Structure 1
Amino acid sequence: MGDPLVARWLCQIIPPRCYFERDIQLWGHHLFYLPPMCKLNSVYEELVGLRCRLLSYLADV
């Protein structure tokens, strides 16, 4: 990768955590927890690895 602007843009697009992971609350009381379902998807693991490499690249630049 040769462009820090593209690396920074991709880091902003790829989420740092799974969006499906939720604590369901009602009136301040914790009802239940939904586990992250995207952990089962291998594409998500590849995106997290890419984001890690991009952050490492940006730290070096």
Structure 2
Amino acid sequence: MEVLNKSQLHHSLFNQIRYQIDGIEIHNSHLAKLLCTIIPSNCPFEKTVKVLGHTIFQIPPLCKLNPFYEEVVGLRFKCLSYLVDECGEDVTKYC
């Protein structure tokens, strides 16, 4: 039996969570709508602070620091695709 160090354990755990998120299948319009509402279409942390039309400073998008960012965005895309392809819904309100 292989003993994992702390770094390997985190890496293994993150990969398992990524795999679980990627494996979620959407077959319910209520769940798809809920996830499209909960998962933002763009990074909510990116901000530009302006005073009198001049940019004072900018807070960069921090979403990519989330280790599951790509998987969550992919899940949102699956939900949008399900709503359009299977339910025939207009998803512009989620964009």
Structure ranking higher on relative contact order (CA contacts 8 Å, 6+ apart): 1
Match for residue 52 of structure 2 among 27, 31, 36: 27
Gaps of 5+ in 1: none
Normalized against structure 1, the TM-score is what?
0.83
Is the counterpart of residue 7 in structure 1 residue 32 in structure 2?
Answer: yes
Please tell me whether Structure 1 or Structure 2 has the larger radius of gyration of its CA atoms.
Answer: 2
Normalized against structure 2, the TM-score is what?
0.57
Paired residue total: 61
> Any runs of at least 4 consecutive aligned residues in structure 1 with deviations exceeding 3 A, and if so which?
none
One-letter amino acid matched to 1:41: N
One-letter amino acid matched to 1:59: V
Gaps of 5+ in 2: 1-25, 87-95
Deviations along 1:22-41, one digit per CA (max 9) or x if unpaired, are: 00112332112111011122
**CA distance, structure 1, for counterparts of residue 68 and residue 51 of structure 2:** 33
Equivalent pairs: percent with the same residue?
49
Structure number with the higher strand fraction is: 1
Deviation at 1:19, TM superposition (A): 1.1
